[in-house]
Structure formats: C-alpha cells, structure tokens
Structure 1
Amino acid sequence: MSQEQLELNKSLSPAQVWALALGSIVGWGCFVLPGDMFLPEAGVLGTLIGFAVGAFLICFVAICYSYMIKYAPVAGGAFAYAYVGFGPTAAFICGWALVLGYIAIIAIDIAALALIFRFLFPGVFEFGALYSIAGWDVYTGEVLLMTFATLLFGWLNYRGTSFAGKFQVVLTFVLTLGIISLFSGSASLETAQTTNLMPLFAEHRTMLSCVLIIFAISPFLFVGFDTVPQAAEEFTFEPARARNIMIIAILCGVVLYSLVTLAVAIAIPYPDMIAKMDAMRASGGTAWATGEVAAMAFGKLGAVVLACAVMGAVCTGINGFYIATSRLLLSMSRGRILPAWFGAIHPKYRSPYKAILFTIAIVLLTPFAGRAVVAWIVDMSSVGTGMGYLFSCLAAYRVLQASSDVESRGTRLFCCYMGTLTSVMCIALLLIPGSPAYIGVASRWCLVTWIAMGCFFYASNKSEWAKLSELELRESILGSRDIPVFFKGRTPDSQAQPQPQGASE
C-alpha cells in the first residue's frame, strides 16, 4: 500500500475527544494569567464576566463547527471548511493562520515548564547561563528540560493517537483534581474572605473595557475545542456527537479557569498579591501568583498540589495541539497547498509522522527563545484562531443556505450569524488601534513576519495546486468528489445543484 493510500487510524473514543478538547482549553494561561493579566487588567468580576461572555459566544462557533464536522468529517478542520466555502486561496489563509495559533500554544506550554520548575525546584535547572531576552534569563538546564518535553510528546504522537488519547484522559483527570484542590485550599485559608475580591473591576479601566479585554482573547482561552474537528477523521463514533462534546468541554473550561482565578483573588486582597508579584519581579525573583497561593494554602505540599494541576494542564495542551497541528499540516498537504512531504502517513502507526517531525523542529526553537519572547505570540495566537473561527462560521452559513432539507433553518442560520459576529469582534478588538485589547508592538511585528512567510509559501506552492482541477482538489482535501463546494471558479462538472446532507441531519 502506498503512502498516499494510507489513512489515519480511527482510535479516538468520545471520552478521549472530550479530554483532548478540555485539556487543550485549560493550559498554561489558566495558571499564569490570573496574576499576570486577568486580575491586574480586568479585576475579579470583569474577568469572570469576560469568561462567561466569551464562552457563551464561542459556543455558537462550536455549533458551526459541528455542522461542518458532519458535512466533511476529515482532518484539517477550519482549513477544509474554508475550502468548501471559499476555495483554495481562502483555505491557505485560514490554514496558515491556524498553524500559527496551534504552534504558538505548544510553544507557550513548553515555555511554561521553565516557570513551573523554577517554582518547584528553585535553582535545580538554572545552570549554564546562556543569555537574557526581554528580562528572562535562558539557562542550559532549562533548555534541556524543555527539549526533552518537546521530544517526548512528539514521540507519543508519532506512535499514533491510540496511546496519546488514553494518556490525555489521565492527564485531564489529574488537571481537574488539582484545580479543585487548589481552590478548596485557598478558600479555606484564614485570610480568605469575600472582601479580598475588591475592587471587582480594574480601577484604571471602565467596566466595559475590563470585560472586553478578557473577551478579546477568548479565541486563545477556548481554542482547545478546535482540536475536535482536527481529529474528526479519527473518531470511532458518529460525527454528530461532536457538538455536545465541544460545548461541554468549553463550559467545563470556564469553570476551571474561574476556579483558578478565584483561588488567586480570595487568598489575600488581590491588589496586595499583585503588588507583591511586582516587587518580586523587580528584585529578580520568579513571580507566580498561583504558586504563591498554593504555598499559602498547603505549605510545602502546595508544590505537589500545584504541580499535579499545572503539569496536567501543560501536558494536555502540548499533546492536544501536537494532534491539531499535525492534522492541519496533513490536510494542507493533501490539497497541495503545502509540499506533499507533510502528507506522509506512517505505515505502522497510521500517524502523519512527517508533519509531527516538522512540528517538533519548530517547537524546538522555543527553549532558546525565553518565556518573555514566547509570551509575545499569545495575541498572535488569538488572531490566528479567530480567523479559523470566522471562515468556519461563514462556510457553515453557505452550506446551510444551499441545503434544501434543513431542519430549524432559522435557528441554525442564527448560530452562524452569532459565530461570525463573535469572530469579527475578537479579531477587531485585537487589531484596531485604541481598542482595550490592541496587541503590543512586539506582537504586531511577529504577526507581520508570519504573514510575510505565508506570502512566500503561497507563492512558491500555488503552481502545484493550480495544476489540479477542482474535483481533484476536492477529493484530496475532503476525501470525496461528491461533497459539494460553494465558491466561484468550479469546473463545469461540479456545478450541479448541491444537496448537502451532513449539515441538515
């Protein structure tokens, strides 16, 4: 059997897919951002409202994804959906934006390991000083630690999703148990009281601005549900079940994010905690509000409790986005939008092993970049995933509009409107100057660099996919010539009146 004929192995159960989504949603940011961003920039209530509003609106995006998963249950997710609705150029734009978002999240989680081990084992890995970037010292020991983690999770995914899926369930359980323990310990402190939550909103912002700055990064906070459509080709169950899996994962993610934020805020007056962290940074120490709360609640045992939660979060995020990134690269290769090299399937493990090797190679740059530099791409990640959301919602709208037997058409189209509006709002808040969530200068330059790289790849590979007819592209990306598409420039034999079935079931 040739490489091109091999297919991905169907090995992911509903529990594993749910763990994949939740574990990818609750990653590094859940434990670091409460003290670094959420509370200083939005306050307690502003953060919680931002979570709730963001999750509620992102659920509409997830519903649009569920329509498209039923319509085209293939690897690639939003990339494949963008092709269905708008053609290969739009698919490339969407796919390139998502590659940025996914690899950025792996890099962020890998970089978080340095912070975790500085807290758990002070000085142990801080040997062999190399250089300093944006105030963050890079050490040989931490480079070795992060390199090992990158290779370990790359190897797990190289061997296929069967073991990786089972491992994800265990890690997600550890993550959830650790967060519940952290909140319970913080809430039981003698110093814990509701007055510590004041002020409810950041004093230097309006209430609306506080909510908007959290809502704007919703694509980053809840992007983990997007790993579900990326793995659709490997489901052992009907694709129609994906909707509930994604929505439940998003809602569980809101609860876990909220518990960690409240744990940090309620232990002592959170403005005092923020001032303490600022003083620690100024003195050259490792400032981590969540770690400080864990130590207050459990003493030395706090390190163990927090380690369980954070390691679960970081590892599930790394594992989940290895799967998402490699499947996205695989799908882009099938459409000749990236070189065919990325599309090779391992004859034994049935994994896109060359796409995984490429992901490993890119992520291996992370240990040398320093945590401060990696943090610059958080906002870029939100822009990239927001683009994926937008294309998916618009594609779902086109599919539903063309379907002749859609049940509850008005309700379904309303979900598409809301998903599209949510995506546009998130992107606009990040890119419009003067917005409370406008991305920083460093992030903007990184984004410009990524766009320039995308233009290069697009120009260098366009001649390859331009040689293929629309039907050939459709078969390569969607796995079948019988799935209708909805963009101009289709060949005459694809112009028959489409009768989409999946979205109307």
Structure 2
Amino acid sequence: MQKSLSPAQVWALALGSIVGWGCFVLPGDMFLPEAGIMGTLIGFVVGALLLCFVATCYSYMIKYTPVAGGAFAYAYVGYGPTAAFICGWALVLGYIAIVCIDIAALALIFRFLFPGVFAFGPLYSIAGWQVYTGEVLLMTGATLLFGFLNYRGISFAGKLQVVLAFLLTVGIISLFAGTASMESAQLSNLMPLFSENRSPLACVLLIFAISPFLFVGFDTVPQAAEEFSFNPAKARNIMIIAILCGVVLYSFVTLSVGIVIPYPEMLAKMDAMRAAGGTAWATGEVAKMAFGKFGAVVLSCAVMGAVCTGINGFYIATSRLLLSMARGGILPKWFGDIHPKYRSPYKAILFTIAIVLLTPFAGRSVVAWIVDMSSLGTGMGYLFTCLAARRVLLGSPAEANRGVRLFTCTMGTITAVMCISLLLIPGSPAYIGVASRWCLVIWIALGVFFYFSNKSEWAKLPEEQLRSNILGSTDIPVFFGNSAPETQSESPAK
C-alpha cells in the first residue's frame, strides 16, 4: 500500500478518532447525570493513564510487524488464526459501530443548527426517535462522501484529517473559554461532585468501563501502520499524546456543560425539553448561553470536526482491518483487493459503506445501543494485543528493558480485562443493557457463520504462507503451536 502518512496526519487520525460524537452528547446524557463532574474527570484520567499502557503494547507490536490489521495481526503472531479471527471480528464491530454512531450524530447536530430544515417526510419512530426522510438523505450523503474520499486513497484522507482535527481543537477551546468567562460561571455550579444515585467509586468505574469507547481512536494508528512514511518507532509517542489531548478536550466540554449554571438545573432543563418533545442537547444549550446565535458557529466547528474526523478515521481503520483478515483467508478474498490506481482496499471500503448505510434508517436511539458493544469489541482488541506483546517479549530474552516492557504488558492486560469485565458482569455499574446484549448475540452468530464458512480455505494453507499473507513476510517469528521459537535473541522486536 502507498506509504504517504506523515506523523502529523497519523496524530490527527488518532485524535480525531478519539474525540467524536460522545464528547459532545455524553456530558449531558451520561457523564454528569450518572457520574457527576468529579467522577467523570477521575474516570477520564484513570482510563486514559491505564490505556497508555495498552498504547505502549501496541507500539511494541507495530515495530514488530508494521502491517495493516493492527490487533488482528498481533493476535495471529501470539495465538494463531482462530484467536486472530475472534479478535478481528470483535474489532470490526467496534470500528463500524463508531462510524455508525458519528453518522447518526449528524441528525442531532443539524436539528440543533438548522431546526426543522431536515425534519421533513416523517417515516416512523424507533425507541422514541422520529426518523425523517430529510435526515436519512443527510446521513446517506455523508456516508457516501467519506466513503468516496477513502476510496480515492489515504493521501487526501490524511490531509483532510489534519484540517478537521484543527477545527475540532479550536472549537472546543473556544467553547470552554466562552463558558468559563460567563458571569454565572462558578465552581459551585459543579456540585454535587459525584452522582447522588451511586457511590463515588461506582461513578469512577462507570466512566472507566467505557474508556475503550471514549479513547478508542488511538488504535487506528496500528491499522494504518503499513502506510507510514516514517519510522514506526514514533507510533508510541503519537498514540500517547493523542490520548492525553483527548482527555483534555473531553474534560473541557464536560466542564463547559457543568459550569455555566448548577448542572442539576441544566439536567432538569434537558429533561423538561425531552418531555415536551424537543431536542435536548446540553452542550448546544451552553453554547447558546455563552455566545448567543454565534454559539452555533463555534459549536459547529468543534462538532463537525469531531464527527467528520471520527467517520474518516474509522473508515480507514475498518477497511484496513477487513483487508488484513482477507489476506489471511479468514474473510473472503474479495475484501482484500487493492485498487490498481488509488492503492486503497476499495472493496473493503464498499462493504463498510453498505453496512453504515443502514444507520440512517435505524434512528439515533437504536444506534446508541451499540456504544457498549463498541467498548467490548475494542476491549477485546486491547486484550489480544497486550497478551501477544507479552508472548513476543517472553520469547525475546535479549530484548532491552525486557522487565519494564513485560510490566507494561501486564498492566495493559489488566486494564483490558477490567474494561471487559465491567461491561459483562451483572450488577456492575457499567453492565450493558438488554438491547445491547441481543445485538451482541446477533454479531457473535454472524461471526460463527463467517468463521466456519471460510475455515476450510485458510485451515489447509501452510503456516508459512498464512504468515506471509497476514504479516507480509515469513521471516517474522510467530509464537503459537509448533511454530513458536524456543528463543528469539535475533527477534525483529529489538
């Protein structure tokens, strides 16, 4: 594939994918009502710091095998094709979910920016969300536009990502500066610091559990590793800086919503608007209060930057993941075709477009059900990456700073297990809802179908050929079955 991505473009890819729809909608819908301002901020910091261990594990594996596929390829290195399929299928869910969520957010944004303009041709209502023909056309157009941009190749998509990430950052900083400078803005408006409905620890755990969803964008970096125009060793700092910048931007938006007036009053106001059949958006409301009509302009820069970078970033991540799975024969070879002119995995992009085109007809309420599944899918990717990195290091006794790196892998593994457990254990403050669980069952059933429908193809391939297909070389050692080397003093991990 074409090696054209610069460090700035990759950083913009990561940051733009981290700061998406949730940054602007969740402060009023979930963060403040469910966790309070302090529970939210502590949850951000704890989740981000622990995910830095995961990002470091990713950086080890990027240097070991800089190819498209990310955690899917790393799971293959450590545990073989079946584990790679489980990891890859979970990640496909997580990545496509983010694209769908950001596309669905466009309807909410335009209801706020242009009330009534796209609310024509009512079709039906799903879970309390009215679906309109105008909004379906809007979201369909956005899906096709970003699909077309990615179809044309990574170079333009990378440049666009830098511009959008700049708009996103400037918009959020302007929003925070405007709200914090209002006469009514006081620290006392942030009380109570934790939700009155649960303990402080439960508040923090709730936010921490969805950290894979909030900061998922950093793992778009390894998906694009095959297209780096620079040394893959720089990937670690790019990912960690993107995560930390993401924490700051998430915190700015949440503080903006909470500081203008006592946030329980703001939440009560939003509840009243919902009861009256209106579109309740706390972030939009504080932007109006801070800037008046100009608030729509400030907020639109930030939100459109966030949503568009998320759509663009996860189109890249999803298509590269499908490409890698097809290379290994784990998905049909059709997904792995590269466009002869644009050097893009165009058929994987077309498949992604087809799935995302279902979003406009589902309604925002239904799309919101997949947030938890997205966290679960990306959590699985984190887990396999950390375990694979540990296995590579254990097989590399000559590795520099081996003890520190093994500790990093252990911390990353614990982080991933905690995130997955909080989502799946009944009684957990972050236990996923019934609708999300049924969606998850359907996705698992589809995975079982794809696994067994293609197993006869890849199972008969020699391991060296499968390794060459997925990793691009037979010289890269793998660590499963009879292929596991006894020692790796000359391992490419050095």
Q: Which bin holds the TM-score, normalised by the shorter protein?
A: over 0.9
Cα offsets for 1:49-77 (capped at 9, x unmatched): 00000000000000000000000000000
What TM-score results when the alignment is normalised by the length of structure 2? Answer: 0.99
The one of 423, 429, 445 aligned to 2:422: 429
CA contact (8 A) 1:264 1:289 kept: yes
The separation in 2 between residues aligned to 1:282 and 1:389, in whole angstroms, is 40
For 2:267, which of 274, 286, 289 is the aligned residue? 274
- TM-score, normalised to structure 1, is 0.97
- Please state whether the residue corresponding to 2:4 is helix, strand or coil: coil
Q: CA deviation at 1:496?
A: 6.7
**Is residue 298 of structure 1 aligned with residue 291 of structure 2?**
yes
Match 2:25 to one of 26, 32, 57? 32
User: Is the Cα contact below 8 Å between 2:396 and 2:487 reproduced in 1?
Assistant: no
Please report how far the alpha carbon of residue 188 of structure 1 lies from its aligned counterpart in structure 2 after TM superposition. 1.1
- The one-letter code sitting in structure 2 at the alignment partner of 1:213 is L
Which residue of the other structure, out of 158, 162, 169, is the alignment partner of 2:155? Answer: 162
User: Contact 1:402–1:500 (CA<8 Å) still a contact in 2?
Assistant: no
Q: Which structure 1 residue ranges, 5 or more long, are not aligned?
A: 1-7
In structure 1, the residue matched to 2:384 is 391
Q: Which amino acid aligns with 2:370?
A: I
Pairing partner for 1:108 from 63, 78, 101: 101
CA contact (8 A) 1:192 1:267 kept: yes
- CA-CA distance at 1:405 after TM superposition: 1.5
Tell me which residue corresponds to 1:503: 493
Q: Secondary structure at the match of 1:137?
A: strand
Indicate yes or no: 2:300 matched with 1:315: no
Aligned to 2:252: 259
The reply on whether 1:20 has 2:41 as its aligned counterpart is no
Pick from 15, 32, 38 the counterpart of residue 45 of structure 1: 38
Which of 236, 239, 242 does residue 246 from structure 1 map onto? 239
Question: What is the rounded CA distance, in whole Å, between the counterparts of 2:389 and 2:96 in structure 1?
Answer: 26
Q: Does 1:335 align with 2:328?
A: yes
The AA in structure 1 aligned to 2:493 is A
**Does 2:376 correspond to 1:376?**
no
Q: State the secondary structure of the residue aligned to 2:131.
A: strand
Query: 1-side partners of 2:222 and 2:88: how far apart?
Result: 13
TM-aligned CA deviation for residue 205 of structure 1? 0.6
For residue 152 of structure 1, what is the aligned residue in structure 2? 145
What corresponds to 1:473 in structure 2? 466
For the 8 Å contact 1:484–1:499, the answer to whether it is kept is no
Q: Tell me the residue number matched to 2:134.
A: 141
Query: Aligned AA for 2:92?
Result: V
Contact 1:128 1:140 survives alignment (8 Å): yes
Aligned to 1:179: 172
| Structure 2 partner of 1:447 | 440
Aligned to 1:3: none
1:401: which partner in 2?
394
By how many angstroms is 1:500 displaced? Answer: 5.5
Asked if structure 2 preserves the Cα contact closer than 8 Å seen for 1:159 and 1:351, the reply is: yes
1:206 and 2:196 aligned: no
Distance in 2 of aligned mates of 1:154 and 1:39: 35
Number of the residue aligned with 2:84: 91
Q: Name which of structure 1's ranges 187-196 and 131-140 shifts more when overlaid on structure 2.
A: 187-196
**Alpha-carbon distance between aligned partners in 1 of 2:441 and 2:478, rounded to the nearest angstrom:** 31
* Counterpart Cα distance in 1 of 2:397 and 2:200: 45
- Counterpart of 1:226 in structure 2 is 219
Alignment partner for residue 217 of structure 1, among 192, 210, 228? Answer: 210
Listed one character per residue, the Cα deviations across residues 407-466 of structure 1 (whole Å, up to 9, x for unaligned) are 111110000000000000000000000000000000011001100110010010100101
Q: 1:221-241 CA distances to partner (integer Å, 9 max, x unpaired)?
A: 011000000000000000000
Is residue 2:72 matched to residue 1:79? yes
CA contact (8 A) 1:71 1:500 kept: no
Structure 2 Cα separation of the partners of residues 438 and 496 of structure 1: 41
Instruction: State the one-letter code of the partner of 2:68.
Output: A
Contact 1:197 1:266 in 2 (8 A): yes
* Matched positions, count: 494
Residue type at the aligned position of 1:501: S
Q: How far did 1:501 drift? A: 3.2
For structure 2, the residue ranges without an aligned partner over 5 or more in a row are: none
Q: Determine helix, strand or coil for the equivalent of 2:440.
A: helix
Per-residue CA deviations over 1:318-352 (Å, capped at 9, x if unaligned) read: 00000000000000000000000000000110000
Distance change in 2, residues 1:462/1:129 (3 Å): same
Q: For the residues of structure 1 that align with 2:429 and 2:465, how far apart are their CA atoms?
A: 45
* Cα distance in structure 2, aligned partners of 1:189 and 1:51: 25
**1:404: how far off?**
2.7
Alignment partner, residue 114 of structure 2: 121
8 Å contact 1:20–1:227 — kept in the other structure? Answer: yes
Query: Structure 1 CA distance, aligned partners of 2:492 and 2:207?
Result: 34
- 1:166-199 deviation digits (Å, cap 9, x = unpaired): 0000000000000000001111111110000000
Q: Determine which of 466, 480, 487 is the counterpart of 1:487.
A: 480
Aligned residue for 2:493, secondary structure, equals helix
Q: Write out aligned runs for 1:334-373 (5 A).
A: 334-373=327-366
CA shift, 1:497, in A, is 4.3
Which position in structure 2 is the counterpart of 1:10? 3
Letter paired with 1:203: E
Q: Secondary structure at the match of 2:15?
A: helix
Equivalence for 1:461: 454
User: Are the equivalent residues in 2 in contact too, given 1:334–1:476 (CA < 8 A)?
Assistant: yes
- Counterparts of residues 280-291 of structure 1 (less than 5 Å): 280-291=273-284
State how far apart, in whole Å, the 2-side matches of 1:341 and 1:265 are: 49
- Percent identity between the two aligned chains: 82
Match of 1:5 in 2: none
Residues 8-49 of structure 1 deviation map (CA, whole Å, 9 limit, x = unaligned): 100100000000000000000000000000000000000000
Q: Is the 8 A contact 2:395 2:485 kept in 1?
A: no
Partner of 2:229: 236
CA distance in 2, matches of 1:278, 1:67: 47
Letter in 1 for 2:201: L
Is the CA contact (8 Å cut-off) linking 2:339 and 2:346 kept in structure 1? yes
Task: Give CA-to-partner distance per residue, 1:95-140, whole Å, 9 cap, x none.
Answer: 0000000000000000000000000000000000000000000000
Q: Which runs of 4+ in 1 moved over 6 A?
A: none
- Give the partner amino acid of 1:259: F
Which residue number corresponds to residue 4 of structure 1? none
Q: Is the 8 A contact 1:483 1:500 kept in 2?
A: no
